[in-house]
Amino acid sequence: MKMLHTRMREINLRKLDLNLLVALDVLLTMEEVSAAAKKMCITQSAMSHTLQRLREHFDDPLLIKGKGRMLKTPRAEALAAPLRKALLELQHAIQCDVEFEPATSRHCFHIATNDYGDWTLMPQLMARLAEQAPHVDVKISHFDPENSIAPLESGSIELVFCHPVKHAVGIHQETLFEEDFCCATRMQHPHIGRRLGLDTYLAKSHLRIAPRGGQRDLIDKALAKLGKQRRIALSTPNLSSAPVLLVNSDLVLTAPRRCVQAWQKLMPISLHEPPVPLPGFTIAMIWHERFQHDPANLWLRAQMREICAAARDPAPRAARCKKAA
């Protein structure tokens, strides 16, 4: 029986003209039909008709005649305060412009990226947040290139940092910067000086980042065009493990330049220009249409533009390798 009553109230609420609730609030405040009509700029007859509709809906007199003013029934007394509060909150929600105040916000940004983004973007972002938005949190999820759109569409991810994705309805993306490759070795490598030539490069054993397993990467393909081949002594799927492996061996690693520069701040690693031309790649930020005008998301995207603009060309070169098609 209780479930039946609850269902009946839900149905009645759907049928109720919400303007009647505004009128009810005025009636319960003024406790007089004529005064309530004047406040709402309608005739007394129209207000009397509204009161009758409210009585039918709530199955209660709501207001009864008294001396001077009308008296609220117990049901009306119970409705008065919650109704006033609900209408005020609704008015505030409709009229108030939603803003993002970084200094006081306790928002939690849900971001997706890979270990490249962890090394090259997140440290600068967290430093910016600590300075400008000290109470804002960040939750990072692993970026899955095979299922990149679904989390954006569901709203579980607000912003993605990765390679550009294929065009999809409702998906926005913006280039942050172009990345290229360099070579890295441990500092004071016994056989590699300031310049890494092709012969030396091929003579050394290599550490390869292979997130998709044993497939040939763009470096092997570039060498194959020259009829050359390198020896892969160690292959790992994780970019994050590379610097530790590098400083504890004599291996040579070819990796994104910004990653190597980040490692150099923490570990004794030397950077060398690659002995063969290598195509670069694009890093973009991606978001869904639902966040296009969201103040928090707008602020976050602006911060990322500033961060990336400050380090857009970390190592100028005489000739840039063309970007991968």
**Average pLDDT rounded to a whole number, residues 156-175:** 91
What class, spelled out in words, does domain 181-272 have in CATH?
alpha beta
Whether residue 21 has pLDDT greater than 70: yes
Q: 């890093």: which residue's tokens?
A: 283
What class, spelled out in words, does domain 108-179+281-310 have in CATH?
alpha beta
| Dist CA 115 CA 263 (whole Å) | 13
| Dist CA 217 CA 276 (whole Å) | 14
Same fold across 2-95 and 108-179+281-310: no
Q: What is the pLDDT of residue 7?
A: 38
Whether residue 313 has pLDDT greater than 70: no
Q: Does domain 2-95 have CATH number 3.30.565.10?
A: no
| Dist CA 127 CA 304 (whole Å) | 12
Q: What is the pLDDT of residue 13?
A: 60
Q: What is the pLDDT of residue 67?
A: 80
Which band of pLDDT confidence, cut at 50, 70 and 90, is reported for residue 8?
A: very low
pTM over 0.85: no
Q: What is the pLDDT of residue 312?
A: 65
Whether residue 241 has pLDDT greater than 80: yes
* pLDDT tens per residue, range 258-284: 999 999 999 999 999 999 999 999 999
Q: What is the pLDDT of residue 151?
A: 86
**Average pLDDT rounded to a whole number, residues 281-289:** 94
Q: 């209408």: which residue's tokens?
A: 87
Of the chain, the percentage scoring pLDDT greater than 70 comes to 87
Which band of pLDDT confidence, cut at 50, 70 and 90, is reported for residue 316?
A: very low
Number of neighbouring beta carbons within 10 Å of residue 208: 22
Domain boundaries, the chain: 2-95, 108-179+281-310, 181-272
**Average pLDDT rounded to a whole number, residues 160-185:** 92
Question: Residue 31 corresponds to which amino acid?
Answer: E
Whether residue 294 has pLDDT greater than 50: yes
